[in-house]
């Protein structure tokens, strides 16, 4: 057994509903503009774009409960509620018909976004990393296994801020379904057990303020409730 020159980093992980066992996180992939209404609100034409992906560090995943910090270097932190797909097996060039066989389970998460930094990056043709991949930028609910929830292809996805409904859509409005997302992503990288995929957000994204109370969910998958911390 080899030794490390510093203490090995902790393994990021997500809770599993009804269990003390946890799901270890390897990588976090996110799908951009996967609901037509959200693509339109971001100024894109949803009919002509193949899916595109960005990533967050594995340790950006934090529980979607308690207090999630308001990050530094932004004055425009946006919420994006998303269904989270957790892979229990991997593969490359996975056919769409085989893709759901890689899924271990599902959860509900937030793709927190520094929208002001993202706008600057878009204008300058720069990477999105600092707009998307900051600390605690990927809150995630407890996961539920496929054995419990199946493969949800429809159902309400929603987010309330301070009791007011801000985002609402249906999983059946995804431009690229989960199987297609997994299949397409597996053409770019070899997917592995432990990878999470944030599958895109419905319309209604907006700015958060310190102290905001968020409740979100995907019907049949789960719900979460958290507070945004002080700046």
Residues found near Mn ion in the complex (CB under 5 A): 80, 111, 201
Question: Which of 17, 23, 189 minimizes the C-alpha distance to 103?
Answer: 23
Residues sharing a CB contact under 8 Å with residue 26, sequence separation 6 or more, in sequence order: 58, 192, 193, 194, 195
Cβ proximity to Mn ion: between 111 and 195 the closer is: 111
Cβ proximity to Mn ion: between 183 and 201 the closer is: 201
Tokens of 148: 């419990």
Tokens of 182: 């997994």
Tell me the CA distances in angstroms from 196 to 80, 89, 111, 212, one per residue in order.
16, 11, 12, 26
Cβ proximity to Mn ion: between 186 and 201 the closer is: 201
Cβ proximity to Mn ion: between 16 and 31 the closer is: 31
Nearest distance in Å: CB 54, Mn ion: 8
Nearest distance in Å: CB 110, Mn ion: 9
Task: Report the alpha-carbon distance of residue 139 to residue 3 in Å, rounded.
Answer: 32
Task: Report the alpha-carbon distance of residue 111 to residue 39 in Å, rounded.
Answer: 15
Nearest distance in Å: CB 173, Mn ion: 14
Task: Report the alpha-carbon distance of residue 219 to residue 199 in Å, rounded.
Answer: 15
Cβ proximity to Mn ion: between 137 and 201 the closer is: 201
Nearest distance in Å: CB 160, Mn ion: 18
Nearest distance in Å: CB 197, Mn ion: 11
């Amino acid at each position: 057994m080899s030794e490390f020159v510093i203490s090995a980093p902790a393994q990021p992980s997500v809770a599993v509903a009804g269990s003390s066992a946890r799901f270890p996180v390897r990588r976090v992939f996110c799908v951009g503009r996967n609901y037509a209404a959200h693509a339109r609100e971001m100024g894109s034409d949803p009919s002509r774009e193949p899916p595109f992906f960005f990533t967050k560090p594995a340790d950006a995943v934090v529980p979607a409960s308690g207090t999630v910090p308001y990050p530094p270097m932004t004055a425009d932190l946006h919420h994006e509620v998303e269904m989270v797909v957790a892979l229990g097996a991997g593969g490359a060039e996975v056919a769409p018909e085989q893709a759901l066989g890689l899924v271990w389970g599902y959860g509900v998460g937030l793709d927190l976004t520094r929208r002001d930094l993202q706008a600057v990056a878009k204008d300058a043709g720069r990477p999105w990393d600092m707009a998307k991949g900051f600390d605690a930028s990927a809150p995630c609910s407890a996961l539920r296994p496929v054995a419990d929830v199946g493969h949800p292809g429809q159902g309400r996805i929603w987010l309330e801020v301070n009791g007011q409904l801000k985002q609402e859509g249906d999983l059946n409005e995804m431009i690229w379904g989960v199987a297609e997302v997994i299949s397409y992503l597996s053409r770019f990288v070899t997917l592995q057990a432990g990878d999470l995929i944030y599958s895109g957000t419905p319309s209604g994204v907006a700015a958060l303020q310190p102290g905001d109370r968020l409740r979100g969910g995907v019907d049949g998958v789960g719900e979460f409730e958290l507070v945004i911390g002080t700046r």
